[in-house]
């Protein structure tokens, strides 16, 4: 009797036949529990770094790529790091930049033309920072 891959996922081990139950070897997998509180505290600190540092500068792209190769780190910790980075990029893509970058915006918009080639205005500085952050986000994806 042949089952498709979809059918196997819906069946339990008793439906597959007697040959799976009559094994002479028992394989026990060791369960390694990950404490939630240290991972949560670490992600709070990491989110603080993402929020306060220049966008895209923390973590370094090569450090982010090296996280995948950590031999004894729990998968949950690695996944939470990548989820936090992707959530930060998602928020920036939606226009929800860090608060300190929003402070560069002028309180009111002047009715005249944009500033000339003199000193960059707050709006121009913010656009420069956002463009630099976009390049760093791209490097995050390129290295991984």
How confident is the model over 74-96, as pLDDT tens digits? 889 999 999 999 999 899 889 88
Q: pTM of the full predicted structure?
A: 0.64
Q: Is the per-residue pLDDT at 4 higher than 70? A: no
Instruction: Indicate if the alpha-carbon torsion angle 102, 106, 112, 117 is positive or negative.
Output: negative
- Tell the burial category of 105 from Cβ atoms under 10 Å away from its Cβ (0-12, 13-18, 19+): middle
Place of tokens 């028992």: 26
């Amino acid at each position: 009797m042949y089952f498709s891959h979809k059918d196997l996922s819906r069946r339990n081990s008793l439906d597959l036949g007697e040959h799976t139950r009559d094994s002479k070897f028992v394989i026990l997998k060791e369960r390694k529990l990950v404490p939630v509180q240290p991972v949560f505290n670490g992600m709070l600190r990491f989110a603080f770094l993402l929020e306060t540092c220049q966008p895209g500068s923390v973590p370094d792209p090569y450090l982010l790529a090296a996280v995948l190769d950590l031999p004894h780190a729990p998968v949950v910790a690695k996944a939470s790091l990548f989820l936090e980075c992707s959530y930060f990029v998602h928020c920036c893509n939606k226009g929800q930049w860090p608060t300190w970058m929003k402070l560069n915006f002028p309180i009111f918009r002047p009715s005249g033309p944009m500033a000339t080639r003199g000193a960059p205005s707050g709006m121009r500085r913010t656009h420069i920072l956002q463009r630099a952050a976009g390049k760093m986000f791209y490097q995050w994806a390129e290295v991984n």
